[in-house]
Amino acid sequence: MRAGRNKNLSGDEKYDIGHYGTDHITDEDVGRILKITEQAEEFETMMMYFDCAMTQVRTKLEILNKEMALRNRRNPFEYIKSRLKSPKSIYGKLKVKGVPFTVENIENTINDVAGIRVICSFIDDIYSIRDSFDVQDDVEILQEKDYIASPKENGYRSLHLILRVPIYLANEKKYMNVEVQFRTIAMDFWASVEHKMKYKKEISNAEIIVEELRYSADLINQLDRRMLQIRERIEKSEVLPDSKREK
């Protein structure tokens, strides 16, 4: 496969990678494209910035976890996952957006190059952590999508935040975006299973399966809220004198 050349307004040669198909391109192909466009080092530096920003947010989450665990006698989340998008995935997203593969376009148009998923035990923990970010001076919530309050049509539930955080380098301070997704354990189970199922091909009665998944998502939401009610009753019982506890 050959990339076609074009020139930007400054006269510098750029390579149009629109001729590459996302189904067949590999991370190695993207690496070769970057070398051709003389952006390989710039791309590597940018990915290091995103990695640092992701580490910054993870550290903030771990601090919140320790504080809330001490204050509430329980941890607000079970575990954290984090990842950087692969070059292939970044390329595919830019192709969908119809913009050239440049470092500038990656920084300006893709908000989830650095991604963190926080798995919480209870729904209210999700919003407690979100509110904590909102009052931190060096964190800006650029975007919030609350799929818990307003689930997607397929039943998907999660809270998505795009955070803008500073990273401190040797001679400068740079701001980078990090996407953080919050789910309960039950939400994450449903999303993981649904993600695997939707890529199965030639499924008979697909409409019925879609409806069953949506129904299952509603059941999981009921379970989440029921477990929250149980926890709140336990906490209420713990603070009451023995004579006033429910029998």
Do residues 38 and 14 touch, judged by C-beta distance below 8 A? no
Please tell me the pTM assigned to this model.
Answer: 0.80
User: Beta-carbon neighbour count of residue 5 at 10 Å?
Assistant: 10
Question: What domains can you pick out in the chain, each with its CATH number?
Answer: 42-238 (3.30.460.10)
Residue 179 burial (CB < 10 Å; 0-12/13-18/19+)? Answer: buried
For the chain, the straight-line distance linking the first and the last C-alpha, in angstroms and rounded, comes to 74
Output the 3-class SS for 175-208. Answer: EEEEEEEEEEHHHHHHHHHHHHHCCCCCCCCHHH
Residue 219, pLDDT score? 97
pLDDT in tens, 150-166: 999 999 999 999 999 99
Residue 76 burial (CB < 10 Å; 0-12/13-18/19+)? Answer: buried
pLDDT by residue for the chain (247 residues), tens digit each? 333 333 332 333 333 333 334 455 666 766 666 665 667 788 889 999 999 999 999 999 999 999 999 998 899 999 999 999 998 899 899 989 999 888 999 999 999 999 999 999 999 999 999 999 999 999 999 999 999 999 999 999 999 999 999 999 999 999 999 999 999 999 999 999 888 777 666 667 778 888 999 999 999 999 999 999 999 999 888 765 655 555 5
